[in-house]
Amino acid sequence: MRCVLPRLSAWLLVLPLFLFSAGTFVVPIALMLVRSVQDPEFATAFPQTAVELRRWDGQGLPGRAAMGHFIAELRTARGTERLSFAANRLNADTSGFRSLLLRTTRMLATVEEGDPAEMLARIDPRWAEPATWAAMRRAAGPFTDYFLLAALDLQRADHGALISVPADRAVFVGVFLRTLWVSGLVTLLCLLLGYPLAYLLASLPSKYANPLLILVLIPFWTSVLVRTTAWIVLLQRDGLVNTLLCQIGLIEQPLALIYNRTGVVIAMVHVLLPLMILPLYSVMKGIGRAPMLAAMSLGARPAEAFLRVYLPQSAAGVGAGCLLVFISALGYYVTPELIGGGGDQMISSFIAFFTNRTTNWGMAGALSLILLLATGLLYIAYARLSRGMRLAR
């Protein structure tokens, strides 16, 4: 009894937060990710056709039965919202499909009854092409790799092979590369600015270091919106930075510092710099001054002692700080949204777009999955690194 009781009480104490996290965190994210492989729109509007198309071997045209169901279901779906959703889904696969489907629905009343294949072909010759039916088969669900492939700018050809999407629709690889590039640049700048400051703070006696550390913590604690507002005020066309640069004669015309990538990088470095400085500082505090002094007493120049003794010892802090900044930058939303230029959005902006504007859960889920995978892998690296740091101390 003495053994069981504390264990049971431990579980009971943990349970409420466990259930809460499950309901507000695990379940919603799982549902969103599942939606990235689900393909419900076509099957909702054309349930029988979807079943027939899934049975079809994909060679030539589907059988009479499938086409007959299709015509019957087109008639019942006419004017409904589910037809519109299905049309959107097909149009995302093959452009022009939306108008084809809606026109066919209208025209069905005008052609005379007969062989389903001939009826459809009379309305539009595209119904006699296997590619049209292959596109519908790809959308027949219930599961699809369409969204995951689309997130990588890939699609399936009619015979099932992977091909790149047309250049005018290939945006996401570019978005991912841009996100990685901006995050990498921000991380590098944070390291270049943060390392010397952390080094100085760690080498100062705490009497001086603590007040200076507060100067690092104040922006860390200040609302991201306050800081973003500050940068907009400072960097705008007639803002403080441009005015000062003009007055000291460095520039003649105000620079465009905002609503472009320059502004995003400046503001993101400002927001994320404390995340670099704090882990660096704690590692450097652990190293202390002794190794440098020892190296110099053995005849090393200060620069040499730094490069060969101090830098390698602080590598864990560099790694942890860089990963922390990079992870945060990858998913950054507010600052790029407010300061960034049009057409220069990062991945999180697209997730928000597909959620709020177009309610395209498949794409939102697929992009989230990729972002989560990247974040998760980097976080595991960070956790290992910081555990190593703790053990080493």
Partner 1 sequence: MRMPLAAADRVLRWGLLALCVAVLGFLILPVLAVIPLSFNAGSFLTYPLAGFSARWYLDFFTSPRWLPALSNSVFIGAFATVIATVLGTAAALGLDRMGGLPRQVLSALFLMPVVVPVVVIGSSLYGLFAALGLTASYIGLILAHALLGAPFVVITVTATLSGFDRGLLRAALSLGATPIEAFRRVTLPLILPGIVSGAIFAFATSFDEIVVTLFLASPQQRTLPLQMFDGVREQISPTITAAATLLFLISMLLVGVVELLRRRTERLRIPGSTVT
Site residues for partner 1, 253-282, by CB under 8 A, read 270, 273-274
> Cβ closer to partner 1: 167 or 303?
303
Of the candidate residues 51, 163, 233, 311, the single one contacting partner 1 (CB under 8 A): 233
Asked whether the CA dihedral 350, 351, 352, 356 is positive or negative, the reply is: positive
Sign of the alpha-carbon dihedral angle for 116, 119, 120, 121: positive
- Where does this chain touch partner 1 (CB under 8 A) — which range of 44-52, 64-72, 180-188, 348-356? 348-356
Smallest separation, CB 383 to partner 1 (Å) = 8
Task: Tell me whether residue 123 or residue 277 sits nearer to partner 1 (CB atom).
Answer: 277
Helices 64-77, 47-55: axis angle to 10 degrees equals 160
For partner 1, which residue of 108, 333, 344, 381 counts as binding (CB under 8 A)? 333
Amino acid code (one letter) for 72:
A
Cβ nearer to partner 1, comparing 109 with 226: 226
CA–CA separation, 363 vs 357, rounded Å?
A: 12
Tokens 């949204």 found at: 337
- The answer to whether the CB of 232 falls within 8 A of the CB of 339 is yes
Q: How far is the CB of 1 from partner 1 (least distance, A)?
A: 13
Residue 62 falls in which region: left (phi positive, over 0), alpha (psi -120 to 50) or beta:
beta
Residue nearer to partner 1 on the CB measure, 234 or 287: 234
| Helices and strands counted in the chain (H then E) | 22, 2
The verdict on 230 binding partner 1 (CB under 8 A) reads yes
Q: Which of 253, 213, 262 is nearest to 235 (CA)?
A: 262
Exactly one of 152, 255, 352, 389 binds partner 1 (CB under 8 A); which one? 352
Q: Report in angstroms how near the CB of residue 238 gets to partner 1 at its nearest.
A: 5
Using rule CB under 8 A, residue 361 touches partner 1:
yes
Is there binding between residue 389 and partner 1 (CB under 8 A)?
A: no
Q: Does 107 bind partner 1 (CB under 8 A)?
A: no
Residue 363 binds partner 1, judged by CB under 8 A: no
Q: Which of 127, 273, 115, 263 is nearest to 191 (CA)?
A: 273
Q: Could you say whether residue 182 binds partner 1 (CB under 8 A)?
A: no
**If binding is defined by CB under 8 A, does position 99 make contact with partner 1?**
no
